[in-house]
């Protein structure tokens, strides 16, 4: 798959050049004033994209790479750098000369200084231009450049992964110490990518409650992510007993995640799945209803609230909450009878008919019978229809019904 290294080019430092530095990356040792150039060789990438401003040291870069055969172009470039007025046409000429005698492709790109929001977006777009295909492999070098550019580079890496699923293999930084004569280590900042993956998964989980999104991350951490994915599927289809069994197996078998990022996020995931620790099905359903309600998933919230009420009745009867044909149907009839006998206000969150009508309306998209001859049925149906059309009231009513 094609591999591209993205690097930045800074302003001319005091003394007129970066110091030639000997870098170490795994088994590779190389000496260069520009880490990106040495990395491109060590990683054997197909292309190196270098981004710099109108005042970056393009002339020094061109000279170090041997792109000075056209002396007139180099002199013009040096003057333009000095005057902070390098333009795209000039950079294109330098790029063309570089690529006439290089076995890898150079892509020189001008970017704004990026002090304003619009310019920062321009930098992201320039960095990502033409990249982001599924088979792209990207490396990012954030050693050189203006101090805020590495942050934009990192955002660009996340952007590329989000829009095109390009694989960001590594983020590198040359940890140069001017006081040391030792070789400079090239440090991997891949941990930042791992943190971003966990953040993205956590955001999706917070949105829809599907913890199966963590399966691949957990597998990479050496944990039984497949069990978690299976549990998530079973929960999503309402098979809570089997989901709980899978979750319990996952937590019994699991060790600590391998990465620091995994260990940081793991407790948050565990806390979100605490519903599994209850011995009662009614509490599983109640907790899942509350989670759905927090995510504004009113369909799942109403379904789990309804099922929790039935499970609680079965448990009070000493029956089997998983027996649908006998115990659950009987419990449903009892709840309906209790609601009638106690003459519970049809607007009350304790009214089982109101909860049932709401569940039906959410699940089937069919409004309850607001034209019924029976006054109580008709008024309850009207109440439920009004409730389902007002998010604030629906939220409050369901929250009360689940307390």
pLDDT > 60? residue 160: yes
CATH of 3-188, one of 3.30.2130.10, 3.40.462.10, 3.40.50.10640, 3.90.110.10: 3.40.50.10640
Q: What is the mean pLDDT of residues 245-274?
A: 87
pLDDT > 90? residue 165: no
Look at residue 142 in the predicted model and tell me its pLDDT. Answer: 86
Q: Average model confidence (pLDDT) for the chain? A: 86
Rounded-to-integer distance, Cα 326 and Cα 262, Å: 45
Rounded-to-integer distance, Cα 21 and Cα 47, Å: 22
Look at residue 1 in the predicted model and tell me its pLDDT. Answer: 63
Answer for the pair 55, 11: CB distance below 8 angstroms, yes or no. yes
> How does pLDDT run across 171-189, given as a tens digit for each residue?
898 887 777 777 889 988 8
> How does pLDDT run across 32-66, given as a tens digit for each residue?
888 888 999 999 999 999 998 899 989 888 888 87
pLDDT > 60? residue 92: yes
pLDDT > 70? residue 75: yes
pLDDT > 90? residue 369: no
pLDDT > 80? residue 117: no
> How does pLDDT run across 332-352, given as a tens digit for each residue?
999 999 998 899 998 999 999
Look at residue 299 in the predicted model and tell me its pLDDT. Answer: 92
Q: Is 2 left (phi over 0), alpha (psi -120 to 50) or beta?
A: beta
Rounded-to-integer distance, Cα 377 and Cα 371, Å: 9
281 burial type by CB count under 10 A (0-12 exposed, 13-18 middle, 19+ buried): buried
Q: Which two tokens stand for residue 305?
A: 């609230």
Answer for the pair 56, 81: CB distance below 8 angstroms, yes or no. yes
Q: Which parts of 96-246 are beta strand (E)?
A: 105-110, 137-141, 167-174, 184-188
Q: How confident is the model at residue 258 (pLDDT cuts 50, 70, 90)?
A: confident
pTM over 0.75: no
* Torsion angle of C-alpha atoms 50, 54, 55, 59, degrees rounded to 10: 60
> How does pLDDT run across 278-288, given as a tens digit for each residue?
889 999 999 99
Write down the residue that tokens 């978690």 correspond to: 228
Q: How confident is the model at residue 132 (pLDDT cuts 50, 70, 90)?
A: low
- Domain locations in the chain as residue ranges: 3-188, 197-277, 281-401
Q: How confident is the model at residue 371 (pLDDT cuts 50, 70, 90)?
A: low
The residues facing 173 across adjacent strands are 187
Strand order in the sheet with 105-110: 28-32, 21-25, 184-188, 167-174, 137-141, 3-9, 47-52, 105-110
Instruction: Give whichever of 50-54, 247-251, 314-318, 373-377 has the largest mean pLDDT.
Output: 314-318
Q: What is the mean pLDDT of residues 365-393?
A: 81
């Amino acid at each position: 798959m094609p591999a591209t290294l993205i690097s930045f080019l800074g302003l001319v430092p005091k003394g007129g050049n970066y110091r030639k530095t000997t870098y170490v990356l795994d088994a590779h040792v190389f000496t260069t004033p520009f880490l990106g150039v040495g990395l491109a060789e060590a990683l054997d990438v197909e292309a190196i994209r270098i981004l710099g401003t109108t005042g970056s040291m393009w002339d020094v870069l061109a000279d170090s790479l041997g792109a000075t055969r056209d002396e007139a172009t180099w002199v013009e470039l040096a003057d333009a750098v000095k005057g902070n007025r390098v333009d795209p046409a000039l950079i294109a000429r330098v790029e063309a000369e570089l690529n006439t005698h290089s076995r890898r492709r150079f892509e020189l790109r001008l970017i704004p200084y990026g002090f304003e929001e619009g310019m920062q977006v321009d930098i992201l777009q320039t960095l990502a231009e033409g990249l982001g295909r599924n088979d792209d492999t990207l490396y990012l070098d954030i050693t050189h450049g203006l101090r805020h550019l590495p942050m934009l580079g990192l955002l660009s890496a996340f952007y590329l992964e989000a829009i095109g699923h390009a694989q960001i293999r590594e983020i590198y930084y040359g940890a140069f110490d001017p006081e040391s004569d030792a070789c400079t280590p090239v440090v991997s900042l891949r941990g930042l990518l791992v943190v971003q993956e966990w953040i993205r998964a956590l955001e999706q989980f917070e949105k829809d409650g599907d913890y199966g999104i963590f399966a691949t991350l957990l597998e990479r951490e050496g944990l039984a992510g497949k069990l978690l994915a299976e549990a998530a599927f079973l929960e999503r289809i309402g098979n809570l007993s089997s989901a709980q069994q899978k979750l319990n197996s996952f937590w019994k078998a699991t060790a600590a995640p391998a990465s620091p990022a995994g260990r940081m996020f793991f407790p948050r995931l565990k806390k979100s799945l605490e519903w599994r620790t209850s011995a009662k099905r009614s509490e599983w359903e109640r907790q899942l209803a509350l989670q759905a309600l927090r995510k504004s998933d009113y369909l799942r919230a109403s379904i789990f609230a309804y099922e929790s009420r039935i499970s609680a009745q079965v448990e009070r009867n000493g029956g089997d909450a998983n027996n649908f044909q006998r115990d659950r149907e009987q419990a449903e009839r009892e709840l309906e009878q209790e609601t009638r006998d106690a003459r519970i206000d049809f607007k009350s969150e304790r009214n089982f008919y109101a909860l049932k009508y709401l569940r039906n309306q959410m699940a089937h998209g069919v409004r309850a019978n607001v034209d019924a001859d029976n006054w109580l049925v008709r008024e309850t149906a009207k109440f439920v229809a009004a409730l389902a059309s007002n998010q604030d009231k629906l939220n409050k009513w369901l929250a009360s019904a689940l307390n």
